[in-house]
Amino acid sequence: MSPLALGEAEIWRRNTAAGRWYGFGRYYAMFPRGFLHDAVSSLTDEDDVVVDPFCGRGNATFVATVLRRRALAVDINPIAWLFAAAKQQPAKNLNQVLSRLKEIDRSCRPADRRSSTRFETMAWAPSVRAFLKAARRELRWEASIVDRTLMAFIALHMQDKLGAGLSNALSPTIAHSPQYAVRWWTRNGMHNPPDVDPVALLEDKIRRRYRFGVPEQAASRVVLGDAQDVLPKRRNARAQLLITSPPYRGVTDYWNDHWIRLWLLGHNFGKDWQRTSKFTAQSGYRELITAVLQEAKKHLQPDATILVRSDRRRRTADLCLAAIADVWPEQPLLQRPTAAIHAGISNGHGRGGNTAREIDLLIPGATGSAWARSRGFTSVELRA
């Protein structure tokens, strides 16, 4: 049955493939599902195109494609892309993923068990260390759907609380520096990593995720790269909805805060540790958002809806507002604070709390005016 014939609660039940896969991948600032379902189903029709140029773990385009909209998603961070691409197009055959898992285990070399840093010694038991290094060496995650799916599972379960994943206790979202992690484990008496069997643990997690198969989804493209470069090369769709959440200024570091998973994907932090992407400078940030929106505009129908969820703090919100006003100077611009209680996207950073931390900025286009009125949007008076 087409999901369009079902209600929201039924589509996303945990005993459906869509419900199981929606939550795949842990990342920052994840869009809550109710927000996406409401926006996509109210503002677009089946077969319309939805674009998210800062897609993170791909929640928006996942919801869109389950609801039979086509989608284009872009992210510059390989971890975001890994999760987004894996859940947008997971390997269909569970057995292929499981046999690749066992192949990786067989390819471990004795030297892979060795630790070269204090962090490695305290983070992973020798068998886990060997498995991770083999996966890092062998998996062709950019080119192969099966390898990417498996790599996404490994990345997901290598950071978790003690006893739940492959490693000693680690935050599921932010990867603290190696020095900080070692100090924290020492202070908390967690000197030894858990001695888990990586194949058994991952097989169990993979089987649970595949319990109801993989979701049926409309066609989509998830592209790894800078949206400023990617969007001009991919211009062929006429999208009806741009829905996105740009990076928050000065809050998260999209490079260093993912260093453990980026290491798994082959990056070498001995060399790259100084690299950062925290978006602290005001001018560069506004230019980035404006440039991406300008390129995204060329993908849109003239009457498309633009919905941008931003950090509510002025240092980010004002620049997003100014960028939208620059790119769509003639269009009415509306805003609403996000509901206080629901799992707002920055609650995903682990800060929690009931305070609205985000703001939704909307250009309603052809279909959004009535929706905006009924959802509490008000006009933005100030134009930069």
Residue 307: beta bridge partners? 243, 362
Q: Which of 17, 30, 122, 324 binds ligand SAM (CB under 6 A)?
A: 30
Of 232, 292, 322, 337, the closest CA to residue 52 belongs to 292
Q: How far is the CB of 162 from ligand SAM (least distance, A)?
A: 26
Q: Which of 12, 22, 24, 54 binds ligand SAM (CB under 6 A)?
A: 54
Rule CB under 6 A: is residue 316 a binding residue for ligand SAM? no
Contacts of 80 (CB under 8 A, 6+ apart): 27, 55, 56, 57, 58, 254
Q: Do the beta carbons of residue 173 and residue 185 sit within 8 Å?
A: no
Rule CB under 6 A: is residue 90 a binding residue for ligand SAM? no
Q: Which stretch binds ligand SAM (CB under 6 A): 244-252, 293-301, 336-344, 360-368?
A: 244-252
Q: Which lies closer to ligand SAM via its Cβ, residue 53 or residue 364?
A: 53
Q: How far is the CB of 184 from ligand SAM (least distance, A)?
A: 25
Token couple for 114: 């060795």
Give the nearest residue (CB) to ligand SAM: 56
Could you give the dihedral angle defined by the CA atoms of residues 192, 196, 198 and 201, in that order, rounded to the nearest 10 degrees? -130
Q: Which stretch binds ligand SAM (CB under 6 A): 69-77, 208-216, 294-302, 325-333?
A: 69-77
Q: Which stretch binds ligand SAM (CB under 6 A): 11-19, 72-80, 123-131, 204-212?
A: 72-80
Q: Which stretch binds ligand SAM (CB under 6 A): 27-35, 92-100, 128-136, 367-375?
A: 27-35
Q: How far is the CB of 194 from ligand SAM (least distance, A)?
A: 28
Q: Which of 76, 122, 130, 334 binds ligand SAM (CB under 6 A)?
A: 76
Q: Which of 22, 24, 27, 377 binds ligand SAM (CB under 6 A)?
A: 27
Q: How far is the CB of 345 from ligand SAM (least distance, A)?
A: 6
Rule CB under 6 A: is residue 254 a binding residue for ligand SAM? yes
Rule CB under 6 A: is residue 139 a binding residue for ligand SAM? no
Q: How far is the CB of 244 from ligand SAM (least distance, A)?
A: 7
Rule CB under 6 A: is residue 226 a binding residue for ligand SAM? yes
Look at the block and give the residue holding tokens 């935050």. 171
Q: Which of 11, 17, 29, 132 binds ligand SAM (CB under 6 A)?
A: 29
Rule CB under 6 A: is residue 77 a binding residue for ligand SAM? yes
Rule CB under 6 A: is residue 59 a binding residue for ligand SAM? yes
Q: How far is the CB of 38 from ligand SAM (least distance, A)?
A: 15
Token couple for 207: 């089987």
Give me the phi and psi of 143, to 5 degrees please: -100, -30
CA distances from 119 to 103, 122, 126, 260, 270 (A): 27, 5, 13, 11, 12
Rule CB under 6 A: is residue 307 a binding residue for ligand SAM? no
Q: Which lies closer to ligand SAM via its Cβ, residue 21 or residue 31?
A: 31
Contacts of 155 (CB under 8 A, 6+ apart): 79, 82, 83, 261, 264, 265
Rule CB under 6 A: is residue 75 a binding residue for ligand SAM? yes
CA pair distance 254, 364, nearest whole angstrom: 30
CA pair distance 363, 331, nearest whole angstrom: 7
Rule CB under 6 A: is residue 80 a binding residue for ligand SAM? yes
Q: Do the beta carbons of residue 30 and residue 173 sit within 8 Å?
A: no
Helix ranges (H only) for the chain are: 8-11, 17-22, 33-43, 59-66, 78-88, 94-106, 118-123, 126-138, 145-157, 178-187, 198-209, 227-233, 259-264, 269-272, 282-297, 314-327, 368-374
The residues of the shown chain that bind ligand SAM, judged by CB under 6 A, are 27-31, 53-54, 56-57, 59, 74-77, 80, 226-228, 245-247, 254, 288
